[in-house]
Amino acid sequence: MDMGLEGQRVVVIGGAQGIGWSTAEVFAEEGAEVVIWDRHRPTPSATPSTSKPWEFHAVDVTKLESLEAALAATRQSGPTPRHVVLTAAIGSGRFGFPFDRLSPEDWHAILQVNIMGMVHVAHLFAEPMRREREGSMTFLGSVAGQMGSQTDPPYSASKAANINFMQCLAKDLAPHQVRVNIVNPGMVQTSLNRSVWAASQEGLPADQQESYESWAMAKIQRVVPLGRWQTTREVASMIVYLASKHGASITGQCLNVDGGFVMRG
């Protein structure tokens, strides 16, 4: 399927690993010009699926000035990106059930990265996209934001905020032909998912601890109707579809790639 992305510039924020890296790969396969912004460079073992190296700029999404500097550097090598994807996010790294196993202090970093990071990206790109009357913003959410996930309440709350703010952005920018959506993964093998498992095992007696594989498969069988992992590639393909010409009438939507974890009419 021709996505109509040939030659279009896209920045993937948080694109050095996981879902972000897969998203960069799928965009590149569709002929888009990929720019990665992340705190760290991709690992040396990671190589682009295309022969052309991808442009990289270091950023801290909690600091607007860092993003502004990355955009200025990106503009030196070409036009302002037409599409922006934000996949950067963090969890608490602790098991949050009941909620007061965490302290209020455990919330601050998550809210700064997951909520203010999104706010900063929106402020950075809204005006140039309005001016050009084209473009898309796609944010990586989570099924945790669609329910009261007790695993990590600050992460869950931040993802709910992402969904709400996405809807505000979509309404604001629709008159300017700029589309805004969010993609919610389910169970995906990422470092964030593994950190949830690690936190859940802390303090358990040795005879009650589970391996990551055992813990994850039990959870998948319990909450994912399709009964299997979702892959980073599957999530990335949805993100790229939303940016493509085939997603031209899709805005203000939550699209789940979750194996049926959350079903809503």
Query: Looking at the predicted structure, is the pLDDT value of residue 245 above 90?
Result: yes
Give one DSSP letter per residue of 17-36, joined into a string: SHHHHHHHHHHHHTT-EEEE
Percent of the chain having pLDDT more than 90? 74
Structural contact between residues 20 and 257, judged by C-beta atoms closer than 8 angstroms = no
Higher pLDDT, 227 or 210: 227
pLDDT digits (tens, 9 = 90+) for 150-193: 889 999 999 999 999 999 999 999 999 999 999 999 999 878 77
What DSSP character marks residue 146? Answer: G
Residues in a beta bridge with 140: 183
Largest CA distance in the chain: 61
Instruction: Mention every residue, 6+ apart, whose C-beta is less than 8 A from residue 81.
Output: 9, 10, 11, 35, 74, 125, 135
Predicted local confidence at residue 206, as pLDDT? 84
* CA–CA gap between residue 55 and residue 68 (Å, rounded): 16
* CA–CA gap between residue 37 and residue 138 (Å, rounded): 15
Summary count for the chain: helices (H), strands (E): 8, 7
pLDDT digits (tens, 9 = 90+) for 43-95: 755 556 655 678 999 999 999 999 999 999 999 999 999 999 999 999 887 77
**Of 95, 75, 82, 92, nearest in space to 150 by CA:** 95
Predicted local confidence at residue 81, as pLDDT? 96
* CA–CA gap between residue 126 and residue 136 (Å, rounded): 10
* CA–CA gap between residue 72 and residue 63 (Å, rounded): 15
pLDDT digits (tens, 9 = 90+) for 20-34: 999 999 999 999 999
Query: Looking at the predicted structure, is the pLDDT value of residue 129 above 80?
Result: yes
- What 3-state DSSP class applies to 11? strand
- The sign of the torsion formed by the CA atoms of 41, 43, 47, 49 equals negative
Predicted local confidence at residue 155, as pLDDT? 93
- Grade residue 204 by pLDDT with cuts at 50, 70 and 90: confident
Predicted local confidence at residue 49, as pLDDT? 60
Domains along the chain with CATH numbers: 9-257 (3.40.50.720)
Higher pLDDT, 69 or 41: 69
Predicted local confidence at residue 89, as pLDDT? 96
**What tokens were used for 104?**
């209020």
* CA–CA gap between residue 18 and residue 36 (Å, rounded): 13
